[in-house]
Amino acid sequence: MKWPIDSVAGAVVIVLYCVLTSSSWALLPTTYNPITNWLSDLGNSSYNPTGAIFYNLGCTLTGIAL
């Protein structure tokens, strides 16, 4: 069975976003708790100086792909 290009591209975009968000989370200098932190804290260079670029890149690439 051959998958349509839209289905494959959609899956790739989801995986790309998850990988880049996980990378940003791994580089966060403090613990991350969804109760006390916003998801956007991962992309804030004040809170996450080394990992913010990964989260922002993931959001940008996902937005372009959609």
Amino acid at 13: V
For the cut 80, the answer to whether the pLDDT of residue 1 exceeds it is no
Q: How confident is the model at residue 7 (pLDDT cuts 50, 70, 90)?
A: confident
Write the DSSP string, 15-29. HHHHHHHHHHHHT-S
Please give the average per-residue pLDDT across 14-32, as a whole number: 94
Amino acid at 3: W
pLDDT tens-digit map of 42-58? 999 999 999 999 999 99
Distance between CA 48 and CA 39 in Å, rounded? 12
- Helices 52-65 and 5-26 pack at an angle, to 10 degrees, of 170
Cβ atoms 20, 54 nearer than 8 A: yes
Entry pTM: 0.85
